[in-house]
Amino acid sequence: MNAPSKTWKDVNAVYQIYPRSFQDSNGDGVGDLRGVISRLDYLKGGEGALGVDAIWFSPLFPSPMADFGYDVSNYCDIDPLFGTLDDFKELLAGAHARGIKVMIDFVPNHTSHEHPWFRESKTSRDNPKREYYTWADPKPDGSAPNNWLSIFGGSAWEWDETTGQYYLHTFLKEQPDLNWRNPAVRQEMQSILRFWFDMGVDGIRADAVRWVSKDEHYRDDPKNPAFTDAPNADPFASLLHVQSRFGPHLFEYLRELTDVVEQYPDKIMIFEDYPDGVFTSRDQYLGFYGVNPRVSMPFNFEGIGREFSAPSFRHFITEFQGFLDVDQHTPVYCFGNHDQPRLVSRVGERQARLVAVLQTTLPGLPVVYYGDELGMKNGIIRPSEEQDPLNVIKPGLNQGRDPERTPMQWSADEYAGFSTVKPWLPLAGQHDEVNVATLSQKYDSFLALYTWLLDFRARSDVLKHGGYQTLDSSNPHVFSFVRMHGNEQLMVVLNFSNRRRSYAVPPGSHVLISSQQANPAKISRKHVLKLHPYEAVIVGQMHSA
């Protein structure tokens, strides 16, 4: 089988695979590459396939797994838990044969403390690798060099007895921050990109990039005046992180990376970046787009934490679309990932179906988290089953990320077809119903909806390339917009309320897709669309698709 390869501009969506949790092939309870190879038909090309044009893998590199692969000890290999480099090459070839592009994660801000660079760096102050990391002297009283906090809890500085200095770790102490001011580090990072691009990888998701440049004088972060010391408040929010991240060289360093991306035909880099609250969202997004919009773009995660209402969603999307340069900037709307509670658990089942319609009808390159196409929920993780260190080091804040990382649910079998043994995390539950085998048989299932939407998007130039305009800007319950391309138009109408709503549509309109396939909204003779609670529809005109 050889599917024609699309360019990135034509990709319908990217599907994020958390490799530990997709498919176990060797019976150790942890997902692996041969497992993914065995599921490629599901992704695209097989009967009833989901139909995604690209996949992104969370880290696959050798790692002691303190942060489940985001602590890398070798950037140019595959962890034996997941397989070998040959397995990866086979996977790449299999994906490409089906017309699936492959993105990998790239963790530039920090390595594992077991990376050979760090092992060397900590041996002595004059080791050639010393300057690969961020070392600093204590204050005269012996305390940490400044007040910077680790996002994973406590001070961002760890004392090293051997060399009498502190090293910086924005995340776990097992994840020392690289020193990007050192040109040798930047060159290492560029060669890593070349290694993977030369192999044929199509894109890179760049992790936690806002931290790569910091204040070089290590000045304190100022206090956050809005912080209240409530019992469940995260102490990390007590400071405004204006010195410890978004340093003066951030975009310049990223540009060096995108220069490498641009040396290859049709490769991209997506920057991980959350709304910061310190900068306006306009400045923050345009800063990242300014790096090199031809090949790189930031995620848009605004839809993850906000109130589920028409005004709230309309506001962020209209504002974002409004300040983008639509000819240059590719939006990357994302509503869930391996760090966030599951979409269905955050908003509800029908509401998540609405989000599926929204995400696959907005401009740009949508990124969908594995299992969200089934409507998988957060798993319930007993303390004895916890894996993510976050709950242990930040107790009481409920920030553990295990619930959204549970095994993919393929079938109603004991371990959901994910493994033959007890998986590394428990199943999220309801897998007798919520699984690929069962849902793919039901025309009105969550999976059927996703498959339909992705197929529609794959075939629709209006959705992939068309313009965007918000409609009816003050409706309190219904958010609607139009996508247009040449003389084709599609209207998307989303009822964010739990009541039936009427919505006037132009004569000649008809419902193409509804999020509630079993009972789609009808259009009255007077051209009024009768939406069910939380229903989302794509409306076509007589002459359109």
Of residues 417 through 456, those in contact with ligand TEU by CB under 6 A are: none
Closer residue to ligand TEU (CB): 272 or 373: 272
207 is catalytic: yes
Helix, strand and coil percent figures for the chain, each rounded to 5: 30, 15, 55
* Chosen residue from 274, 308, 316, 323 binding ligand TEU by CB under 6 A: 274
Place of tokens 């997709």: 22
Of residues 203 through 262, those in contact with ligand TEU by CB under 6 A are: 207-208
Of residues 67 through 96, those in contact with ligand TEU by CB under 6 A are: 67, 70
From the CB of 115, what's the least distance to ligand TEU, in Å? 13
From the CB of 74, what's the least distance to ligand TEU, in Å? 16
Specify whether the CB–CB gap between 17 and 370 falls below 8 A. Answer: yes
Closer residue to ligand TEU (CB): 214 or 483: 214
Map residues 320-339 to x or -, x wherever contact with ligand TEU holds by CB under 6 A: ------------------xx
Closer residue to ligand TEU (CB): 98 or 338: 338
From the CB of 447, what's the least distance to ligand TEU, in Å? 25
Question: Active-site residue among 53, 221, 272, 402?
Answer: 272
The one-letter code for the residue type at 288 is F
Of residues 29 through 68, those in contact with ligand TEU by CB under 6 A are: 67
Closer residue to ligand TEU (CB): 26 or 399: 399
Single out the residue of 271, 300, 337, 434 nearest to residue 17, CA to CA. 337
What the block records as the tokens of 521 is 């909204």
Going by their DSSP bridges, the two strands 14-17 and 367-369 should be labelled as: parallel
Closer residue to ligand TEU (CB): 208 or 493: 208
Single out the residue of 113, 153, 68 nearest to residue 391, CA to CA. 153
Closer residue to ligand TEU (CB): 403 or 417: 403
CA 497 to chain centroid, in Å, comes to 27
From the CB of 62, what's the least distance to ligand TEU, in Å? 15
From the CB of 176, what's the least distance to ligand TEU, in Å? 12
What the block records as the tokens of 227 is 């912080």
CA dihedral sign of residues 429, 431, 436, 441: negative
Of residues 105 through 134, those in contact with ligand TEU by CB under 6 A are: 107
Of residues 446 through 505, those in contact with ligand TEU by CB under 6 A are: none
CB crowding 495-523: b at 16 or more within 10 Å, else e: bbbeeebebebeeebebbbbbbbeebbeb
Residue nearest ligand TEU, Cβ-based: 70
Beta carbons within 10 angstroms of residue 474's beta carbon = 7
Specify whether the CB–CB gap between 173 and 141 falls below 8 A. Answer: no
From the CB of 249, what's the least distance to ligand TEU, in Å? 19
171 lies in the binding site for ligand TEU (CB under 6 A):
yes
What the block records as the tokens of 347 is 């908003």
Single out the residue of 372, 375, 331, 350 nearest to residue 483, CA to CA. 331
Specify whether the CB–CB gap between 409 and 371 falls below 8 A. Answer: yes
Closer residue to ligand TEU (CB): 339 or 535: 339
Specify whether the CB–CB gap between 496 and 461 falls below 8 A. Answer: no
CA dihedral sign of residues 130, 134, 137, 138: negative
How open is the CA angle 383-389-392, to the nearest 5 degrees?
55
Burial label, 83 (beta-carbon count in 10 A; 0-12, 13-18, 19+):
buried
From the CB of 321, what's the least distance to ligand TEU, in Å? 24
* Chosen residue from 14, 55, 91, 151 binding ligand TEU by CB under 6 A: 151
Question: Active-site residue among 79, 105, 174, 207?
Answer: 207
What the block records as the tokens of 312 is 């709230």
Specify whether the CB–CB gap between 181 and 250 falls below 8 A. Answer: no
Closer residue to ligand TEU (CB): 128 or 277: 277
Closer residue to ligand TEU (CB): 156 or 491: 156
Specify whether the CB–CB gap between 18 and 339 falls below 8 A. Answer: no
270 lies in the binding site for ligand TEU (CB under 6 A):
no
CA 148 to chain centroid, in Å, comes to 26
DSSP-derived 3-state class of residue 304: helix
From the CB of 337, what's the least distance to ligand TEU, in Å? 7
Q: How many residues bind ligand TEU (CB under 6 A)?
A: 13
From the CB of 237, what's the least distance to ligand TEU, in Å? 12
399 lies in the binding site for ligand TEU (CB under 6 A):
yes
Closer residue to ligand TEU (CB): 87 or 404: 404
Map residues 190-209 to x or -, x wherever contact with ligand TEU holds by CB under 6 A: -----------------xx-
Q: Give the span between the Cα atoms of 358 and 494, in whole angstroms.
A: 8
From the CB of 270, what's the least distance to ligand TEU, in Å? 12
Q: Give the span between the Cα atoms of 85 and 223, in whole angstroms.
A: 46
Residue 21: DSSP 8-state: G
Q: Give the span between the Cα atoms of 41 and 534, in whole angstroms.
A: 32
Specify whether the CB–CB gap between 520 and 511 falls below 8 A. Answer: yes
272 is catalytic: yes
Binding site for ligand TEU (CB under 6 A): 67, 70, 107, 151, 171, 207-208, 272, 274, 338-339, 399, 401
For the annotated catalytic residues, the residue numbers are 207, 272
